[in-house]
Amino acid sequence: MANRWGIPKNVEIFVRARDLQCVYCGVVFSNENADRKTKPSWEHIINDIRLNDVDNIALCCISCNASKGAKPLVDWLQSAYCRNKGITTACVSDVVQAAIINPPRLKH
């Protein structure tokens, strides 16, 4: 079973429990849908929708998601958006740091 983003249910449950803050900028998510800034969105850390495991699926805020778009993670981390927000490889969440060091790959 997968949710409407193609993410397996067990992965969704795990990630929802793990990522209580944006994995990039660290904004704390709120359950109130009123504030767009604190609304979580589904993110593929490495931009490959086939990589659907907990090492590549994360929750980030809408503004980080919109800024990152289809850019490769390491390139995006050099962007003006990240510079302005103080987002660096050292302050992103553990799952993102792990993906920088050892990018998730398709398992054969």
- Interacting residues toward Zn ion by CB under 5 A: 22, 24-25, 61, 64
To the nearest whole angstrom, how small is the minimum distance from the Cβ of residue 71 to Zn ion? 14
Write out the DSSP string of 38-71: G-EEEEESSS-TT--STTTEEEEEHHHHHHHTTS
Closest CB to Zn ion among 76 and 104? Answer: 76
Which SS3 state, helix, strand or coil, does residue 107 take?
coil
Backbone phi and psi for residue 15, each to the nearest 5 degrees, phi listed first: -70, -40
What does the block give as tokens for 58?
A: 């994360």
To the nearest whole angstrom, how small is the minimum distance from the Cβ of residue 34 to Zn ion? 18
Closest CB to Zn ion among 51 and 64? Answer: 64
To the nearest whole angstrom, how small is the minimum distance from the Cβ of residue 79 to Zn ion? 13
Closest CB to Zn ion among 25 and 58? Answer: 25
